[in-house]
Structure 1
Amino acid sequence: MRLTSVANAPVSFGVFELSDAPPPLTAARMVGAISDAGYEGIDLGPIGYLGTKDDLAERLGGLLLAGGWADLRYSDAAEFEQGLAALDATLDVFDAAPAAPAHLAPRPTLGCSGSPARFARPGGNAPGLEASEWAGYASRVQEAAGRCRDRGYEPAFHHHLGTYVETPEDVERLLELTDVQLCLDTGHLLLAGGDPVTALRDWSGRVGHVHIKDGDRAILAQALADGVDLRELMGRGGFAPLGEGELDLPGVVRTLDEIGYQGWVIIEQDTLPGRRSVERNIADQAANREKLRELGL
């Protein structure tokens, strides 16, 4: 039995939220494109896009659910408490996912709502948490992890540009203060000054989920020079198709094998609605899957 499976995610097609505007493509078309490209799973995306707990399994069309994003404001105790209902709603949908082997069970992806200063200057170019704030932040991450575990799911925390856990040093601090597993995202780490291959080795005992995306530091540098924020960085192609940025993709795949990683590898290529055509996004994700297949994944 192969112990690593490959999924994709709605963000690769410009689907982030349902409240701003209609999605650039229907869920049925996206599921079909992902399945046709040879992926085995899919991330949940915004609640409701892939259906509800009543019809999720049918609408996945044979794909497994790999994970799903739960955004919480760990830096603010009151707002964190208010956001827990959204985490519970995500887990309710997870309960309806098709049965999967234990190592491919869907993982709640714990995301941080972010830092306005870092969102404006992504890549470790703005101050993060004060030393005195880390204990509270970490305790709330631990509380969210416990809430997932109480429901039978093992979560993974996603470090992310524009948030309080952005740089390799931030990740190290979070790992020190919690027992939560890490969703290692190669693109976000690369653009925050990290080396994904080194990180996979150094944090191998804590890596429970992997997002593979490429990154282009030249586009980041120009975005910073122009004074534009993380959203515009994504719109400019800061997260490139695999092989078009600076990610050592063969090194990442080789290291996943070396550390004995088991679970989901989710290809993501964060893009904004309207910046690329639906047809180009579909073609990019088929090509991304083929690049991993050529590397034996």
Structure 2
Amino acid sequence: MFDAKPVFTAAEWEKLARGLENLGRLAAEKGMKIVYHHHMGTGVQTTGEMERLMTLTDPDLVSLLFDTGHLVFSGEDPEYILRKYAARIRHVHLKDVRRDVLARVKAEKMSFLQAVKAGAFTVPGDGMIDYGPLFKVLAEGGYEGWFVVEAEQDPAVANPLEYAIKARQYIKEKTGL
């Protein structure tokens, strides 16, 4: 999806990896870690690209943000990524995808911005992602970080408070938290 997204050369991959590691060292001096956010329309969008970045970087210096919505939107398997990189995941974005809108986005070859405006994203429990297995893998891996619920939606169409409550109820149902 998104044929116009950047595709890095070998030299660009090395530059990205070394730059992230340098940032990781600076962050470590301050008692922090950096967390890389894979994202639609960027050079690190697909499973292969995430695997390459994780292979090229030191796990002690570069962690991974796990974004369910971006993975599913780009046709990737979030459970695979989660299982493979559980030890490196330091932050989680919970974003769901509306199946019917995603199909239209693909059929009409919409841009990412057009997809957002069309309502492709929603809160957990309102889309196509089954979070049960994902929460299980996170628990098994000992994840203790933040869950950030995201849903790029028009607030005139999707009332933020109503959707926040919907997401909270779904997460409680799936996790018991």
TM-score normalised by length of structure 1: 0.54
The equivalent of 2:150 in structure 1 is 268
Cα distance, 1:219 vs structure 2: 2.1
Aligned-partner Cα distance in 1 for 2:120–2:167: 16
Once the two structures are aligned, what percentage of the paired residues are identical? 34
Instruction: Quickly say closer, same or farther: Cα 1:170–1:279, change in 2 above 3 A.
Output: closer
Give the match's secondary structure for 2:146. strand
Cα distance, 1:171 vs structure 2: 0.5
The equivalent of 1:187 in structure 2 is 69
Equivalent residues of 1:145, 1:154 under 8 A apart: yes
The equivalent of 1:60 in structure 2 is none
Structure 2: runs of 5 or more not aligned:
none
Query: How many pairs align?
Result: 173
Equivalent AA in structure 2 for residue 181 of structure 1: S
1:168 partnered with 2:47: yes
Structure 1: runs of 5 or more not aligned:
1-120
The equivalent of 1:133 in structure 2 is 12
The equivalent of 1:282 in structure 2 is 161
TM-score normalised by length of structure 2: 0.87
1:196 partnered with 2:60: no
1:216 partnered with 2:98: yes
Cα distance, 1:145 vs structure 2: 2.3
Give the match's secondary structure for 1:276. coil
Give deviations 1:115-156, integer Å, cap 9, x for gaps: xxxxxx53x775521233211121122222223222221121
Give the match's secondary structure for 2:122. coil
Report the RMSD for the aligned CA atoms in angstroms: 2.1
Aligned-partner Cα distance in 2 for 1:128–1:202: 23
The runs of at least 4 aligned residues of structure 1 exceeding 6 Å deviation read none
Equivalent residues of 2:95, 2:123 under 8 A apart: yes
Equivalent AA in structure 1 for residue 19 of structure 2: R
Instruction: Quickly say closer, same or farther: Cα 1:279–1:165, change in 2 above 3 A.
Output: closer
Equivalent residues of 2:6, 2:41 under 8 A apart: no
Equivalent residues of 1:184, 1:209 under 8 A apart: yes
Give the match's secondary structure for 2:121. coil
* Highest RCO, 1 vs 2 (Cα 8 Å, sep ≥ 6): 1
Cα distance, 1:217 vs structure 2: 4.7
Cα distance, 1:289 vs structure 2: 1.0
Cα distance, 1:244 vs structure 2: 2.5
Give the match's secondary structure for 2:87. coil
Instruction: Quickly say closer, same or farther: Cα 1:218–1:167, change in 2 above 3 A.
Output: farther
Equivalent residues of 2:94, 2:149 under 8 A apart: yes
Q: Out of 20, 25, 32, which is 1:153 matched to?
A: 32
